[in-house]
Amino acid sequence: MSLLIKRHIAPVLVLFLTFALSAQDKGSVTFEVQVSKDKLGINERLRVNFTMNKDGDDFTPPDFKGFRVLMGPSQAISSSWRNGVRSYSKTYSYTLAPTAQGKFNIKQASIVIDGETYKSLSKQIEVTAAVDRPNGQMTVDDVADKSLHLVAEVSQTRPFLNEAISVVYKLYVSPSVSVSNYRALDNPKYNNFWSQDIPVSRLNAQNGTYKGKQYRYVVLKRVVLYPQKTGKLEIEPLSLDVTVDVPTNKRDFFGGRIYSQTNKTVSAGKRTINVKALPLEGKPADFSGAVGNFGFSVTSSKTSLNASESLQAKVEVSGKGNLKLFQLPELNLPSSLEVYEPEFKEKVRTTLSGMTGKVSNSYTIVPSFKGKYPISNISFSYFDPKTEKYHSLSSKDILINVKEGPKDTSVGSLGQMGTNKQTVVSKGDRFNFIKLNSKLSTIGANYFFGSTRFYLWLVLPLLMIPLSIFFGKKREAMASDIVGNKIKRANKLARRYLSTAKKALGDKEAFYISLEKALHNYLKAKLKIETSEFSKDKISTLLIEKQVDTETKDEFIDLLKNCEMARYSPFSNVQM
């Protein structure tokens, strides 16, 4: 009997303990708010921690009315086992700065744990007037505030349109603290500027002064900008989250100073650039937007050759300025010369002072007949922002002497093209008279019932059943092919943007934006790329990873560069 009772009681006890433990587990969830102080001065900092003893989801902080969030949320997780019992803690931390004096409530925060929503209690904080404290009583955050500054140094704030300016971002750090890490929070996008980053290979600390005090600084970012619009343009701020090690008055066992670590958000602030328009007075008719100081030349690889041989004529601009942002002048060639599309080449280096180097168009020219052909002089105009004047440069006349070859009677002296008519020759029976004698035959009576068409229309509905089932399954398979559908959509978008570009001929901005979008969507379709933000460096890396041959990669990148250049230079409708 006792054995029977034990057999029944044991499962009941296990079941009861299970329910008790689960109920205890569920009831033991805590979600609390802790503040570093209930009363503080307006020049002090407040730390707020939201702590829970079980992991949760969908954490929603309060709005922190009356305070500005300097840092957060930062997470800290602690988990340990002791005597078979697990201890867990998760904390969301914020560092706040008061924006006004008065009494403010830190309202409830919420989090979902095991499917249930838990809320913290609200806390009342009193903000008083600024507190005077000796330097020795300053908090870690106060020391970090005074020891860290991010500055954007702009080379000039009143440039001309398309004149280069540089922006250098420097982080100034007081010798009394050290920086162990930093990360960018907001990167400027430089709207209405053509921009080129100059990579910083190493962070070298240098000595300098900031507002009359000695600091150490590092250059974090360098960029060259060419304004593409006149008027007031804003450079967006660069913001960083910096981890600062601040020394305290405490010492360790060996007498070494103990450091306290804190995070600080620093920003370079917005900078306004007043871009001046180029003067209208003295502006040449052939000015194509070149700004800087340039040299100009037109050269030919040969001046004497035989018919059917080729020569290279090069139009080249060299110097310092916006070399990638204007259009090279075109050669004036006799119409009797066979000329191929020019090959564009650039050898440009970008430094803090702007672009330097040269750009050129190389024309391949093939004369077909004997004679003398002139390459007339052409001119190139640019604006020099230092002298604030326009300059025009002209090339020399070049005479091409074709010594051997057939004579073209339709061409006058010096390559003047005359009238050239060709006789139409009829070959074979391409043009014949219409035959008048036709052979006609009587068409017999046509009955529908009992004919082949009658039975075909009778059987056709039955044949449609398996066909509809087959195509239905095919449609379902196509609908479930997510990757394939994305590729098709990207292909359609590429075609649509190409069509939009064609319709936008004459509207430069719309034309080249549509063309760039078409190229990007084509790239997505071909390589199954899900990236929404493209840069030429990113595209080049992706094409190398996909093992695309170098020639194709370079052509694609060159096409994107041409689109980019064209958006900022005056292209004609024919070229578009």
Average pLDDT over residues 559-571: 69
Q: What is the pLDDT of residue 431?
A: 43
Average pLDDT over residues 316-342: 92
Most distant CA atoms of the chain, gap in Å: 132
Q: Where are the domains of the chain?
A: 27-132, 140-275, 293-415, 482-567
Is residue 92 within 8 Å of 77, Cβ to Cβ? no
- Max mean pLDDT among 215-229, 405-419, 462-476 falls in 215-229
Give first-to-last CA distance, the chain, whole Å: 101
**Residue 484 DSSP symbol:** H
> CB neighbours of 289 closer than 8 A, spacing ≥ 6?
162, 322, 325, 326, 327, 568, 569, 570
- Residue percentage of the chain with pLDDT more than 70: 81
Average pLDDT over residues 555-565: 78
- Max mean pLDDT among 61-65, 179-183, 346-350 falls in 346-350
Instruction: Give the pairing of strands 85-98 and 67-82.
Output: antiparallel
Instruction: Give the pairing of strands 371-375 and 85-98.
Output: unpaired
pTM metric for this prediction: 0.52
pLDDT tier at 429, thresholds 50, 70, 90? very low
Q: Rg of the chain's alpha carbons, rounded to an integer?
A: 39
Amino acid identity at 101: Q
pLDDT at 530 exceeding the cut of 70: no
Domain pair 27-132 / 293-415, same fold? yes
Q: Among 343, 395, 393, which Cα is nearest to 374's?
A: 395
Helix (H, G, I), strand (E, B) or coil at 120: coil
pLDDT at 337 exceeding the cut of 70: yes
Is residue 100 within 8 Å of 127, Cβ to Cβ? yes
Q: What is the pLDDT of residue 41?
A: 85
Report how far apart, in Å, the C-alpha atoms of 419 and of each of 402, 422, 560 are. Answer: 21, 10, 42
pLDDT tier at 201, thresholds 50, 70, 90? confident
- Residue percentage of the chain with pLDDT more than 90: 32
CATH, domain range 293-415: 2.60.40
Average pLDDT over residues 44-63: 87
User: Can you say how many angstroms the Cα of residue 200 is from the centroid of all Cα atoms in its chain?
Assistant: 19
Is residue 241 within 8 Å of 186, Cβ to Cβ? no
Is residue 329 within 8 Å of 349, Cβ to Cβ? no
CATH, domain range 27-132: 2.60.40.10
pLDDT tier at 172, thresholds 50, 70, 90? very high
> What residues form DSSP beta bridges with 75?
92
Q: What is the pLDDT of residue 314?
A: 96
Amino acid identity at 491: N
pLDDT tier at 417, thresholds 50, 70, 90? very low
pLDDT at 412 exceeding the cut of 70: no
Q: What is the pLDDT of residue 437?
A: 66
Average pLDDT over residues 160-166: 96
- Report pLDDT digits (tens) over 69-103: 887 788 888 777 777 777 788 888 888 888 888 99
